Chain A
Amino acid sequence: MSAEVAMKRNLGRIYALQAKTEFLKVWRLPMYAIPTLAFPLMFYLLFAVATNRGTGQAATYLLATYGAFGVMNAALFGFGVGIAVERGQGWMLFQRATPMPPLAHLFGKLVMATLFGALIVLILSAAAVTLAGVRMPVGTWLALAGTLVSGAIPFAAFGLAVGYWAGPNSAPAVVNLISMPVSLASGLWFPLQMLPSVIRKVAPFLPPYHYGQLALGRLGLGEDVPALYSVAFLAAFTVLSLLLAWIGYRRDEGKTFG
């Protein structure tokens, strides 16, 4: 009977609706949508367009790093703050009482973060082409965009962990406190060569550094780090984050008091 009943649900429709719901939910939330979309563009206009008029190289470089910064933040905030807030509301508890497929919720959030990531890459690329005169072959741009957008995965996983460990009110602060300094130290705001040597020594231990290097590598502007090593580093970071999220989830389950 269970198989028969389960068959009658349209799983594809559940996943599609879950994704639509997650997207609409944050799209209508100015607190999320505006900073997520506007900050990377603002930084890019300020540092790539306004100060580097005419030098295509810097504007190309910063397209990769601010793209990485934007996608990373969309995933960190979407997951970290989103999960923490929904836990606080009891929405997650309610969803667990329904027959929602267990991964549908995470799938929906991942689609949402990926869509925001893609939107950020498109906006930045449009600014790069029209305002900073950046030119590159379509194939190169597609490779860059693909690398940038898939960066949503490791940071979504880390956001998930933050969401299960932080409270609904502290989550935005926690995400900001981690994201800001780490982005800077990983060379996502300014090229690493411009930063003090202490930071340059720390950077290779930070996940966003490897993410940034993978994106820059698509443009031939990366440092001397093997791409495979960066991918492995980010994969390990993803697994570790998921593990941390799982422990947080179990801890949450045991704590729920009634």
Chain B
Amino acid sequence: MKQLGMIALMLVLANAAAASTVEDCEAQFEAGNAAYEAGSFAEAAEAYEAVLAECRSFEAEYNLANASFKLGQIGRSILHYERALQLDPNNDDARANLQLANTKVTDRIEPLPTQGLRDLWERVVAKGRLGFWSVTLLVLWLGGFGALSWRLLAREEAMRRIATTMAAVLLALSVGAGFLFSATLHRDDMSHEAVILTPTAEIRNAPQTTNSLVLFILHEGTKGRILSRTSDWIELEFANGSVGWVAAGQVAEV
């Protein structure tokens, strides 16, 4: 009994702490919006960054991207629009603004024609899908075991057969949902894309400044897919298939 009480107490305390954090985030978000409406975009950006330091929020990412755009920081605005779309892949506002921000990028990279499936996968396992896949997994899993329990209790053979089929289907689907949940969780833990934040970035053929060649120079806002990384360098693949190493300090991971 004592142990149960301790667990309950911990849950209550954790819930109270979480509620306090959410309140702080809401207050900072409102302050950011007020600053943005007043035209103080730098102040607004600071407030949204404070929100994102404590909470995950599509709206805060989106608004921070807007404030960065207004400040002329195209790279940062693209970074945060991408992060916002990770949380809500179907948001029209974020897509439209990202499209506009991308027109300001200096580099025009023609994408390879094999992006369709990858884009679909990226959207299925986007960060924002984690909640959806976890709920789907839970519902299917519990439904499957519920059907198994029904099978135990059913007295008629026909009912038991129906329960067996339902359990098999639901548990199979829950395995699929579990796979997608795991992929989303893995993506959540490790970013797969990065955006250049400095005005120019040298893309080299090796993760070092000496004994390496500058393959090409890219500019602020250009996005690449992370292939590998060292402590100081990140290997990126760009939409046209070009691959090279960029200093980690010049990019931010989506």
| Same assembly | no
**Chain B residues within CB distance 8 Å of chain A:** none
**Chain A residues within CB distance 8 Å of chain B:** none
